Amino acid sequence: MPTILVVDDDPEIRELLARFLEKHSLVCITAPDGERALREVRDRDIDLVVLDLMLPGDDGFEICRKLRQISTVPVIMLTALAEDTDRIVGLELGADDYVTKPFNPRELLARIRAVLRRASGQPAEDGQDVSYAFGGWKLDTARRELFDAEGTLITLTAGEYDLLIAFLEHPRRVLDRDQLLTYTKGRMAQPFDRSVDVQLSRLRRKIEVDPKAPEIIKTVRGGGYQFTPDVTRS
């Protein structure tokens, strides 16, 4: 079972998350501060770190930076701050995702599983293949095939496929370029990488009726992009 390290100075949050994650077949250990967290990562086989931003001593940004010097373990930032700049800074420092307090533990669990899948290369939750359906379209992750409403196979490049998966796992959420880069490239993403723009344009040409007036992947001015259809998963 994957081992999750929860780093938070609030003992109630640590206890709550430990019980919840262990209930869902994850091993959970906790740390109250960054110094203990770094020691746990050095001494244990950790699969993912849930890292609070507001910590005594070094804050989450600094701990994330130090983690990246010693490990490639995936990191999900956990914070009460909702500023875009804080999220971007966290992602630039190497965080894989970002959850804002107050949060639903099930959302955090879904984020953890998604990041673990990307890190391990597994195509679907718990190693099982799934299918996504949205607006008449169907994506078969077992074969990495996309079909339109008429059943026509639409060929996707690897980058387009990863981008579509990112949207399908976060429907109706506004995702900025930095988040999309993280979801599609993880730690390989480079600052100012514009490849996501090219892939988005190509993906729109394949799934939009009018790519110049997109209805499936809408642009949110000043925010990013939003996948608007309802998504079902089977």
Query: pLDDT tens digits for the chain (234 residues)?
Result: 899 999 999 999 999 999 999 999 999 999 999 999 999 999 999 999 999 998 999 999 999 999 988 887 888 988 776 566 676 677 667 677 778 888 888 889 988 987 787 666 554 444 456 899 999 999 998 887 899 999 999 987 666 888 899 999 999 999 998 888 888 866 545 554 566 777 788 899 999 999 999 999 999 988 899 999 999 988
Neighbouring residues of 166: CB distance < 8 A, sequence distance ≥ 6: 175, 179, 180, 183, 184
Picking from 77, 113, 114, 78, the residue whose alpha carbon sits closest to that of residue 2 is 113
100 and 130 both lie in a single domain: no
80 and 140 both lie in a single domain: no
156 and 202 both lie in a single domain: yes
Domain that holds residue 197: 125-233
Q: Alpha-carbon distance 96 to 118, whole Å? A: 10
Final residue of a structural domain among 81, 101, 120: 120
Final residue of a structural domain among 81, 102, 120: 120
Final residue of a structural domain among 120, 143, 170: 120
| pTM metric for this prediction | 0.56
- Domain CATH number, residue 68: 3.40.50.2300
DSSP letter assigned to residue 44:
S
